[in-house]
Amino acid sequence: MSYFAGPQTRFGLAVAAVACFLDQAFKVYLLFVFDLAANGPVRIGPFIDIILARNTGISYGLFQTQGPLGQWVLLAFKAVAVSLLWFWLARAKDRLTALSLGLVIGGAVGNAIDRLAYGWVADFVFFHISTPNWQFNWYVFNLADVAIVAGVIGLLYESLTADHAAKAP
């Protein structure tokens, strides 16, 4: 079986390439053209700032690692996950599955590129709400994370609405 043959596979890989490219382009712009580290946070709106957060862990800063061994373990885990997702993509029968898997793969590869290049993942979107009596700070995230979450939502939607979804009695 060829892992590039079917139209859904090619579509999913194209989505992955676009998601990864947009993520990396935005990160390169913020890190090296705008120089976010030197210029500091940028207020986009009352609830969103662009900041630089160096994430040495995985999603939402979990499992923070120090040193190269931890980084290589996370990269190996990511490589296995992307390989399994690609295998699933090669068997995708419909466009939503291919789109969703492409988003997850593209986001995972985008974050893996950061880990290889810098030893950490560049996160920069900071969502927050502050009132005089209450404050909510969401995790700092990037476009790769948005792609991964959107892909997972697509897969969940499909699993709940597809013909093979479990039906209520």
Residues forming the active site: 123, 145
* Alpha-carbon span 84 to 80, nearest angstrom: 6
Q: What is the pLDDT of residue 58?
A: 62
Its pTM stands at: 0.86
For residue range 41-100, list pLDDT tens digits in order. Answer: 999 998 999 999 998 876 555 555 566 777 777 788 889 999 999 999 999 999 999 999
Model pLDDT, residue 72: 78
Q: Is the pLDDT of residue 165 over 60?
A: no
Q: Is the dihedral of CA 107, 112, 117, 121 positive or negative?
A: positive
Most confident range (mean pLDDT) of 50-54, 126-130, 137-141, 149-153 is 149-153
Token digits of residue 167: 């039906």
Q: Order of strands, edge to edge, in the sheet holding 121-130?
A: 42-43, 48-55, 121-130, 135-141
**How does pLDDT run across 100-112, given as a tens digit for each residue?**
999 999 999 999 9
Give, in order, the Cα–Cα distances in Å from 10 to each of 2, 68, 80, 93, 139: 11, 34, 20, 12, 33
Domain boundaries, the chain: 15-161
**In angstroms, rounded to a whole number, what is the distance separating the alpha carbons of residues 103 and 154?**
9
